[in-house]
Structure 1
Amino acid sequence: MTPSNTTPPPPGALSNIVTLAVTEDEAEIRLDRWFRRHYPFLTQGALQKLCRTGQVKVDGKRAETSTRLQPGQMVRVPPIPNANKPAPIVIAVNAQDAKELGRMVVYRDDHVIVLNKPSGLAVQGGPGITRHVDGMLEALREGSEHRPRLVHRIDRDTSGLLLLARTPGTAAKLAASFRTREVRKTYWAVVAGRPVPAEGVIDMPLARLGSGPGALTIAADRGDEDAAYAITEYVVRDAAARRLSWLELSPLTGRTHQLRVHCEALGTPILGDPKYGGEAAHMEGFEDRLHLHARSLELPHPSGGTLTVTAELSSHMKETFKILGFEAGVTPAARRS
């Protein structure tokens, strides 16, 4: 009888034949991706050979690397030398950062965590960036074998909602939802001027110039081979004469700096934008910080139904709303339907 196991043997060992159960959060994952998750050092070529020779089986039957797995199925894993899962890397988080991260949490359950990230805090590290959300996530492990992981990103200077997955399988499901545009993202921005018309769709391809921190996103011609299509819906929620407006923005694509460049292309740059706004975006009497906030997320929940989460405005945008007389209203509680 084939022994059953749930944990690969120690790194470097030649494993016995084991049978691993597919877990609930691994539903619909491809067999090759399942192996990469459990045996990260196993190459694609080696796995293909194991499948081709019938050494890998799913529920007792030969399987291809593209086979989609379902919860409860049993995967036969043959002896695999030097292909075992390494010990998890634990990143220490100081008490102050852990406390700050805890205050950012606006929703959590067994599958996801949603943060309301402050403006100025980077999501991931990079040149000159040593403090970032990704480096704090160990504080949200809460005894789980899995460290929460980022599903998407928002700009360092943008405040608002950031979605985390609590398991690798959940991360894969959520990433697929972003790719297929099942996730609806809504942003609020304060912009210089007032768009005409008051609502519409910005359909403008974008391209990246350069790389690293100095890279820029620019409007591009449709025939440009380096261009990526980018579409944003917008509506004016309120305006202070024609000097400043409150926009609700819904990006239908997810290009780097898309909203910032699209607003600038409308002739209404986002207030406080240091990169794309120009002089028009910097006004006396208002805090000179980017006025862009990831206000809400609506997405298919990994365990079924729809999750809707809304984030309170950042402090500097609250102050600007107060000065301009914009009424944000009560921030609704997260809900699943």
Structure 2
Amino acid sequence: MHISETHIVDKLEKPIRFQEYSVGIFNTIPTKSGIKKAIKKGLIFIDGSLATTSKYISGGEKIELFESENSSTFERLELDIKVLFEDETLAIVYKPAGILVSGNKFVTIANGLAQNLKKSTLADAVKPQPIHRLDYPTSGLLLVGKTSTAITALGKLFKEKKVQKTYFTVTIGKMNSEGTIKLPIDEKESETDFQVLQSVISERFEYLNLVKLSPKAGKKTPT
């Protein structure tokens, strides 16, 4: 066997079981079930001793993941994600257009978060998870939870529609300076306020407009 990854534990507010702390510390094993399998195979050591799920972690420990010739690991995603804000509970990252937030594809924002964010030292720390989504062609800010408490609380805010999303888009043709769009999307009622921030003359399209959109009800436009 040879060492695949090494993790040094930062100082924690209070001790936490290794089973809870270990999720997300290794790029090649992002899940709790994967950690358990690696422990059973004798591939994880803490300060030179074989790891157990019940061992308490307090800070300063050296955790090593070994890889045997027969062990299967997850492919690591090298994805440079721009982090605009981060603390112990959440992060705000920039999602560029042309990439999925999550899903069955390997290259997603969700799969790249662990390599771009610091693991929370709080007791309920989990693998960073996007709280909402932005469609494939849409760029914008993405809210990410780093603890189970934050993920639950933020998810509730979105479910109760207490988070206001604002979008900016470019439209073609002449349009009113402001108004409300009331058109069904996917057979669901939708209502979005718009405001034209700037218009320029276009030889091809007559006008190009920079428009601010504020979804009010129903399916958001765009997402």
Pairwise same-fold verdict (TM > 0.5): yes
| Structure 1 residue 117: Cα displacement | 0.9
Matches of 1:180 and 1:190, distance apart in 2: 29
Answering whether residue 112 of structure 2 is matched by residue 112 of structure 1, we say no
Q: Deviations over 1:124-157 (max 9, x none)?
A: 124xx33111111222452444111110000111
Structure 2: runs of 5+ lacking an equivalent: 1-15, 20-30, 36-72
Q: Deviations over 1:141-189 (max 9, x none)?
A: 5244411111000011111111101112111111111122221111111
Q: Give the partner amino acid of 2:179.
A: G
| Structure 1 residue 191: Cα displacement | 0.9
| Structure 1 residue 233: Cα displacement | 1.0
Answering whether residue 99 of structure 2 is matched by residue 154 of structure 1, we say no
Query: TM-score with structure 1 length normalisation?
Result: 0.41
SS of the residue 2:158 aligns to: helix
Match of 1:130 among 106, 109, 133: 106
Answering whether residue 164 of structure 2 is matched by residue 184 of structure 1, we say yes
Answering whether residue 194 of structure 2 is matched by residue 249 of structure 1, we say no
Change (3 A) 1:173 1:141: same
Q: Deviations over 1:244-302 (max 9, x none)?
A: 100001112462xx424xxxxxxxxxxxxxxxxxxxxxxxxxxxxxxxxx9xxxxxxxx
Instruction: Select the structure that is richer in helix.
Output: 1
Matches of 1:254 and 1:8, distance apart in 2: 43
Structure 1: runs of 5+ lacking an equivalent: 1-5, 10-85, 208-226, 261-293, 295-337
Question: CA-atom RMSD, angstroms?
Answer: 3.0
| Structure 1 residue 87: Cα displacement | 2.8
Partner in structure 1 of residue 195 of structure 2: 235
Partner in structure 1 of residue 184 of structure 2: 205
Q: Deviations over 1:12-71 (max 9, x none)?
A: xxxxxxxxxxxxxxxxxxxxxxxxxxxxxxxxxxxxxxxxxxxxxxxxxxxxxxxxxxxx
The percent of aligned pairs where both chains have the same amino acid is 26
Aligned pair count reads 154
Matches of 1:123 and 1:155, distance apart in 2: 8
Q: Give the partner amino acid of 1:244.
A: L
Query: TM-score with structure 2 length normalisation?
Result: 0.60
Asked if the contact 2:188/2:218 (under 8 Å) is kept, the reply is no
Match of 2:32 among 87, 92, 101: 87
Matches of 2:87 and 2:130, distance apart in 1: 15
Matches of 1:141 and 1:8, distance apart in 2: 20
Partner in structure 2 of residue 142 of structure 1: 118
| Structure 1 residue 229: Cα displacement | 2.1
Matches within 5 A, 1:1-337: 87-89=32-34, 94=76, 96-97=78-79, 100-101=80-81, 104-126=82-104, 129-140=105-116, 142-144=118-120, 145-195=125-175, 197-207=176-186, 227-241=187-201, 242-253=206-217, 255=219, 258-260=220-222
